[in-house]
């Protein structure tokens, strides 16, 4: 049987997603023939890995912008090669215009957005090409998402000068208190990074995977079989409380969950959608020096 080659990049990725030590990551990858997802589960079953994190690391420059207008909002990411360009007024102005255009025209996807008319009769794609030629650096419109409510409020928040952008949609009767709460929840999402709005929105395979890891860890601990189910159910409740937005402790008042805080602002109000963009999330950047350091230790 030919075993998969364990690379320094694989070890780095596993370390970032679990918080486990380098040699533990190397061993885990060896045990599961290089499968990263299986290695995460292996480490967690051994109690060596931190809670599962979202895949992806900030590895690209540019800007994320979140903006709302009435009962509709948009979050958009436009990438550039360097952080210098992300501070260029032409670049930031272009991103702001794109956000306004999306709010007005509501294109279905990036391709549809690029085809829309922009300034001077040119298309968005042509305007982007012109901006690239003017600034002298490659750029791309990566993604955007729109949130809308029939009745309620859209909270928009940008953190770190465009490093994180969040939209939150809250159902209810739009008023000042609900508008303020929607923005506060958006700020919470930026800080707490929930996986989904509620446990009902969580992917079934993610729930099954978490339950399997917890069950196997509990079984390996030597606890009596008759109490393992109760242990797992308790840990699953904790998992939901950490992962689901409405069950998380509200960062501005940790005595309340997010759902309780929203209902306190307006009886019956509910968070129904969220979108959180982190600049460069999921785009890999070369880290040659780090890889060489890890490789040297692996081969030592």
Structural domains for the chain = 1-53 (1.10.8.10), 61-197+262-278 (3.30.479.20)
- 247 DSSP 8-state letter: G
Using 50, 70 and 90 to split pLDDT, how confident is the model at 295? low
Using 50, 70 and 90 to split pLDDT, how confident is the model at 81? confident
Tokens at 78, concatenated: 């436009």
Element (H, E) at 17: helix 8-18
Strand partners, 93: none
Above 70 in pLDDT, residue 4?
no
> Range with the lowest mean pLDDT among 41-45, 176-180, 190-194?
41-45
pLDDT at 192: 96
> Range with the lowest mean pLDDT among 137-151, 228-242, 274-288?
274-288
Which of 33-37, 176-180, 221-225 has maximum average pLDDT? 176-180
Which pTM value belongs to this model? 0.73
Using 50, 70 and 90 to split pLDDT, how confident is the model at 284? low
**Percentage of the residues of the chain whose pLDDT score is greater than 70:** 86
Tokens at 203, concatenated: 């992917």
Backbone angles phi, psi at 86, to 5 degrees: -65, -15
> Range with the lowest mean pLDDT among 25-29, 39-43, 274-278, 290-294?
290-294
**Mean pLDDT of all residues in 92-99:** 97
Using 50, 70 and 90 to split pLDDT, how confident is the model at 56? very low
**Cβ of 115: how many Cβ atoms within 10 Å?**
11
pLDDT at 53: 42
- Say how far apart CA 214 and CA 184 lie, in whole Å: 33
Helix axes 8-18, 36-45, angle to 10 degrees: 50
Using 50, 70 and 90 to split pLDDT, how confident is the model at 121? confident
**Cβ of 50: how many Cβ atoms within 10 Å?**
12
pLDDT at 283: 76
- The mean of the pLDDT values for the chain is 86
């Amino acid at each position: 049987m030919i075993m998969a080659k364990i690379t320094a990049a694989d070890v780095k990725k596993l370390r970032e997603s679990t918080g486990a030590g380098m040699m533990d990551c190397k061993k885990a990858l060896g045990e599961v023939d290089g499968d990263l997802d299986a290695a995460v589960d292996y480490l967690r079953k051994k109690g060596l890995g931190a809670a599962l994190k979202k895949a992806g690391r900030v590895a690209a420059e540019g800007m994320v912008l979140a903006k709302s207008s009435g009962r509709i909002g948009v979050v958009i990411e436009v990438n550039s090669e360097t952080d210098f360009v992300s501070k260029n007024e032409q670049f930031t102005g272009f991103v702001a215009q794109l956000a306004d255009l999306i709010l007005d025209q509501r294109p279905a996807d990036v391709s549809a957005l690029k085809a829309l008319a922009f300034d001077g009769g040119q298309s968005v794609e042509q305007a982007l090409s012109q901006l690239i030629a003017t600034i002298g650096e490659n750029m791309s419109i990566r993604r955007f998402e729109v949130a809308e409510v029939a009745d309620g409020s859209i909270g928009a928040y940008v953190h770190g000068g465009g490093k994180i952008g969040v939209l939150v949609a809250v159902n209810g009767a739009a008023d000042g208190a609900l508008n303020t709460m929607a923005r506060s929840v958006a700020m919470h999402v930026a800080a707490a990074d929930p996986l989904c709005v509620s446990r009902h929105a969580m992917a079934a395979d993610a729930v099954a995977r978490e339950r399997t890891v917890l069950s196997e860890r509990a079984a390996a601990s030597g606890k009596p079989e008759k109490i393992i189910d109760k242990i797992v159910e308790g840990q699953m409740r904790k998992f939901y409380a950490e992962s689901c937005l409405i069950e998380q402790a509200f960062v501005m008042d940790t005595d309340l969950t997010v759902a309780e805080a929203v209902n306190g602002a307006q009886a019956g109000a509910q968070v129904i959608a969220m979108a959180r963009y982190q600049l460069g999330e999921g785009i890999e950047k070369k880290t040659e020096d780090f890889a060489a350091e890890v490789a040297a230790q692996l081969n030592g």
